[in-house]
Amino acid sequence: MITVVGSGRVGATTAAMLGLMGLDKKIVLIDIIKGLPQGEALDLNHMSSILGLDVYYYGSNDYADMKGSDLVIVTAGLARKPGMTREQLLEQNANIVWSIGKDVAKHAPDSVVILTTNPLDAMVYVMWKATGFPRERIVGFSGVLDGGRLAFYTAQKLGVSPSAIIPVVLGQHGESMFPVPSRSYLYGIPLDKLLKPEDYKEVVDETVKAGARITELRGFSSNWAPGAGVALMAKAVKRDEKRALVASVVLRGEYGVDGLPVEVPLILGRGGAEKVLEIELSPDEKNKLAQSVEAIRKLINSLPNQYK
């Protein structure tokens, strides 16, 4: 069974894609707003009926209904509004994530948790502390989105399919993220060999500002790309794919970092983040990653003590 906590745009989109992928026969939607998860579940069940899907959606306002879930996807939290950074959401969403984490630990103690709540890396830390789970079982959705955006904007420059690009984005999921051109490839060719420095800078700027741009244009943050990315990660867990992708996980000495969640390449399977992949970086790239990690450290240091 899969539980999706949060029935807003990202949660509902994710739930729909989970069903379309056929990842489980039962998907539970939980939200504190009365009627919202029940209404979304009913609509999704009608979708399943029309498409002939073998999946049942159940909406609830009770966290106890996640019992038996082997995968919990947390999309709950306040969303960004126009002009708001991910970092400004810190304290408000920390309280939400901490409370959810305690319920996950109580009702789904053996689950893998995929988290989307912003500011992402800090919320991964809060969820890790709240559940007491091993670091492998708390994974932040970030790099799939950042990488997908980097691949899209790069492909636009090069006139190729985004699927031909293997993107690598390290560090923070936020304004200080570090896309790595020397370790991002078009069929084995590093992007810094294909793009002029000014073109790559433009691609990076577009990647970093993509979320804010979407929010500015339509008045609320993205949901289709996050829903697709989370479903891709859920598939890796449920089917034990051992899939290589970029996500946020608490590091234990990798990249010289200990005890902080950082966006890095990893192997995602049934056990969660089963292996962190350390890629070789130049001295300049190590410095840029360190700056991005420092932004994460500052956010976590500014958390109220009860969340540390």
The partner residues of 261 in beta bridges, in order of sequence, read 250
- Please report the DSSP string for 236-305 in residue order: HHHTT--EEEEEEEEEESGGG-EEEEEEEEEEEETTEEEEE------HHHHHHHHHHHHHHHHHHHTS-G
Structural Rg of the chain based on CA atoms: 19
Q: What kind and span of H or E run contains 226?
A: helix 224-238
Tens digit of pLDDT for each residue in 274-301?
A: 999 999 999 999 999 999 999 999 999 9
Q: 241-286 pLDDT, tens per residue? A: 999 999 999 999 999 999 999 999 999 999 999 999 999 999 999 9
Q: Give tens-digit pLDDT for 39-51.
A: 999 999 999 999 9
Q: Where in the chain are all domains bearing CATH 3.90.110.10?
A: 143-307
pLDDT tens-digit series, residues 51-60: 999 999 999 9
pLDDT over threshold 90, residue 161: yes
What distance in Å separates the CA atoms of residue 117 and residue 288, rounded to the nearest whole number? Answer: 25
Which residue in 297, 207, 196 sits closest to 251, CA to CA?
A: 297
CATH architecture of 2-140: 3-Layer(aba) Sandwich (3.40)
E-only strand ranges, the chain = 2-5, 26-30, 56-60, 71-74, 112-115, 138-140, 165-166, 169-170, 178-179, 185-186, 189-190, 243-252, 258-269, 272-276
Sequence ranges of the chain with CATH classification 3.40.50.720: 2-140
Q: Is the peptide bond before 119 cis (omega within 30 degrees of 0)?
A: yes
Catalytic residues: 173
Topology of domain 143-307, per CATH? L-2-Hydroxyisocaproate Dehydrogenase; Chain A, domain 2 (3.90.110)
CA 236 from centre of chain: 13
